Amino acid sequence: MEQPEETLPKASIEELESLLGYRFKDQEVLLRALTHRSFVNEHEGERFQDNESLEFLGDAVLGFVVSSRIFQRFPDLTEGELSKIKAFLVSAASLVRLAERVRLGEFLRLSRGEDKTGGRRKRAILVDAYEAIIGAVYLDGGVEAASAFVDREVGDFLDNINVREFIYGDFKSALQEQLHNLGYPEPMYRVVDEIGPDHKKLFVVEVVVTDRLAAQASGRTKKEAQQAAARRALQSLKE
């Protein structure tokens, strides 16, 4: 039995598959990934299923694949450093950008009310639907298909990331701003030790605030060690 037009996404399934770079053997699982609970509620009794359980599955698949890829790509990083990269890649901010890149909002099944109130642009709806898409790819094609899909989506970031800059960020500026807001003077940084041979040296840096040691950290360069010390000092302020 043919479904009424209102139950289908705005654009064709084939167009979305092209944008995703994946052809579904079972397009019904893709349709489910696009189905928001508001649509199911509006069509009560018509046996539609929302995407919430697929979102749960996709979240787990995404976490596993991303963890595997960044471990393989950066085997020398610490657990904490790997966790920071993973947290960025699976964050809502990253996922909503990926969802917008494939114009996912255009294809969603939403209730008329949700559609009229901007549901196709809502961050939470897009993120959940994107994770549901990953779950759908996994169910349709298995772990290899899901891995290939996630690899394509995050590959550019992993290929071009400046790992040290990404991990350490500009914590020095953040610490200076925080101290200024609290009425303290600017922090001072001093190298207190250099460990190891020249080709593999670690610099140990202390950050001092009002003549008191705020934090100490090490890094492969003085700048990296300063940023790490500033990050620890910021954490101490928060605690």
CATH 3.30.160.20 in the chain, residue ranges: 169-238
Q: Which CATH number fits domain 169-238: 3.40.50.1980, 3.30.160.20, 3.30.9.10, 3.40.228.10?
A: 3.30.160.20
Task: Write out the chain's pLDDT in tens, 239 residues.
Answer: 333 334 454 457 899 999 999 999 999 999 999 999 999 888 887 788 999 999 999 999 999 999 999 999 999 888 888 888 898 888 888 899 899 999 999 999 999 999 999 999 998 999 999 999 999 999 999 999 999 999 999 888 888 887 766 776 678 888 888 888 888 899 999 999 999 888 778 899 999 998 899 999 888 888 888 988 998 888 887 66
Rounded to two decimals, the pTM is 0.70
CATH number for the domain whose boundaries are 5-161: 1.10.1520.10
DSSP string, the chain: -PPPGGGS-SS-HHHHHHHHT---S-HHHHHHHTB-HHHHHHTTTS----SHHHHHHHHHHHHHHHHHHHHHH-TTS-HHHHHHHHHHHTSHHHHHHHHHHTTGGGG-B--HHHHHTTGGG-HHHHHHHHHHHHHHHHHHHHHHHHHHHHHHHHHHHHHH--HHHHHHTTHHHHHHHHHHHHTPPPPEEEEEEEES-GGG-EEEEEEEETTEEEEEEEESSHHHHHHHHHHHHHHHHH-
Active site residue ranges:
59, 131
pLDDT tens across 21-68, in order? 999 999 999 999 999 999 988 888 778 899 999 999 999 999 999 999
